[in-house]
Amino acid sequence: MDQQLPRNSRTGSDRSADSGLPRHVTQDAVVIVPGIMGSALYDTSRDTHVWGLGGISWLVKAWTLPGGLKPLALTEEELEGKTGRIKATGLLEHSAWTPYLAGIEPYSDLVEAVGGCVADPAAVLKFAYDWRLPVAANGRLLAEAARDHLGAWRRHPAHDRARRHRVDEREGRLVFVAHSMGGLVTRSALDPALDSDLAGDTRGVITLGTPFLGAVKAAVILNSGRGTPVRLPHRKLRAVCANMPGLHDLLPQYKSVRDEGRDGNSSHGDHIRHLTPSDVTAIGGNAELARKSALFHRDLGRIGLPGHRTVVGVNQPTPQSLTIRDGKVRAHLAGARMNSDRSILRDRATGRILYFEVGGDGTVYKESASLGPVTTTLPLQHGAVAKATSALDAVVEIVRDDIHLGPPMGDVGCGLETPDLVEAGVPWKVRLSDVDTLSGLVCGITNVEDPADEQRLTAAWEDGAAVAEATTKTTGLYRVTVRTPDGHEVSQLVMSGEPGMAWEESED
């Protein structure tokens, strides 16, 4: 009997003498599909990279200098489907940042983990795509790329060697590992109208923090910069995203809009509804893109995901609903629930809607990401769902087809809240939720570019919550990390900018 690798091993160091392959290796072809802003982009018309460059200094310049992100805005030709100006050149290999989504972690650790499960690097396709475009457009490209990848892998000599390690020596099939928006792109690619055999040639789909029902944060991003005072990066984000189809495809598709009561207090309202195209226009988006997105999601719901397993971030404070007043979005951490007959849960005494805070990964609330028969829940922020060790262990087990993972027993980890943008030299606060004791809690902050610039943070109780004060020394990208006594780690990226006017919005 073959000896299996330890559960937490991703190295594949135990090898079979006859083939040089790890004893526990898959014969399948794996496709890694990143999330929004997870692919590096190149502007062919200007012969320059416009997203995903290495180095934190590039990020600071992109969000502060005039025109730093202008090439990302879609042109009229691109909105009409005439694409090609922007090319995706690869998966994100360096940490990045954007307002509201905060930290965007690189995919290098995920690629390495998957690489330890396959018989040869040729078995892995890193599918980079232009995330600005409609999900449906990228789904078509993925369907073609996955078909070509599977064919090439089946012809590769390592494919036959790997088959000899597996039960029945079956032919290799596809396994998709998709983060965030990448799960929607994958589901779109599996539309039988694009390739009637692709779903049958797929052994499994692993989604990591995919907003199948959308995310309130997408509406917040479209509304970015509305109201005063606002900071420069938020205005630049609004300009880039106002007509971005990909972002509109992430808008919430469930009943998320709380209608306010007559006194203007949303808590007194007794109605919750879907976001409409006119709402999207009011908050700074594009009504036509919103209509197209709603139709797309209606059709997407009919597409199955073979062997679907989900990894879902939990315990993080996550927007679930919103109110719109005078063109401004206010996000709420609690949302409504439906009975099996699709009626909304209400207080029996008052008839008012009951709102529940279920959390999520800070960007995608739990129920939006939990589509599928088998769900693994981990206390992680959205960016780390495709990077943290616990998430990669889950991915490896599924890619190897070892076991069917389920949710962990009991509550673990903690919730983490940080500002997405801070000023160098100015103190700010890290807030932790679901913390019962400060004993054994380890909290720190590290400069991403200079790991030697590391600070240990001391948590204290403040109004019943665990709070730690932090101060960044310089501009750049910093990672806040918290390890709880149960051994779980949660992290988030924070951008530190120049103090004062460098980050303020100007009307010029």
> Given pLDDT bands bounded at 50, 70 and 90, which one contains residue 33?
very high
- What b/e readout covers 33-57, taking b as 16+ CB neighbours within 10 angstroms? bbbbbbbbbbbeeeeeebbbbeebe
Residue 4 CA neighbour count, 13 Å, CB half: 9
Q: What is the DSSP string of 263-287?
A: TS-GGG--EEE---HHHHHHTTS-H
Query: C-alpha 307: how far from its chain's center?
Result: 21
Confidence of residue 505 (pLDDT cuts 50, 70, 90): very low
Q: What is the CA radius of gyration of the chain?
A: 23
Angle between helices 181-189 and 135-154 (to 10 degrees): 70
Report the pLDDT value the prediction gives residue 239, as an integer from 0 to 100: 80
SS3 call for 496? strand
* Average pLDDT in the chain: 86
Share of the chain above pLDDT 70, in %: 88
pLDDT higher than threshold 70 for residue 433: yes
* Rounded CA separation 397/392 (Å): 9
Q: Mapping DSSP to helix (H, G, I), strand (E, B) and coil, where does residue 65 land?
A: coil
For residues 195 and 296, the answer to whether their CB atoms sit within 8 Å is: no
Superfamily of domain 415-498: Immunoglobulins (2.60.40.10)
Q: What is the pTM assigned to this prediction?
A: 0.87
Name the helix (H) or strand (E) containing 48. strand 48-51
Confidence of residue 99 (pLDDT cuts 50, 70, 90): confident
pLDDT band for position 225 (cuts 50, 70, 90): low
Residue 13 has pLDDT above 50, yes or no: no
> Is-contact 55 94, C-beta < 8 A?
yes
Q: Is the pLDDT of residue 168 over 80?
A: no
Do residues 455 and 469 lie in contact, with contact meaning Cβ atoms separated by under 8 Å? no
- Find out whether 490 and 416 touch, Cβ atoms under 8 Å: yes
| Percent of the chain residues topping a pLDDT of 90 | 55
pLDDT confidence bin for 19, thresholds 50/70/90: low
Nearest partner of 363 among 326, 313, 322, 406, judged by Cα: 313
Structure confidence at residue 132 as a pLDDT band (50, 70, 90): very high
Q: DSSP state, 343?
A: P
The string of pLDDT tens digits covering residues 34-83 is 999 999 999 999 998 889 877 777 777 777 777 778 889 999 999 998 99
pLDDT at 500: 65
Q: What is the pLDDT of residue 232?
A: 60
- Could you tell me the two tokens for 124? 């892995």
Alpha carbon distances (Å) from 17 to 2, 14, 111, 240, 326: 12, 10, 26, 54, 69
**How many beta carbons lie within 10 A of that of residue 9, not counting itself?**
15
Three-state SS at 26: strand
**What tokens were used for 104?**
């965007």
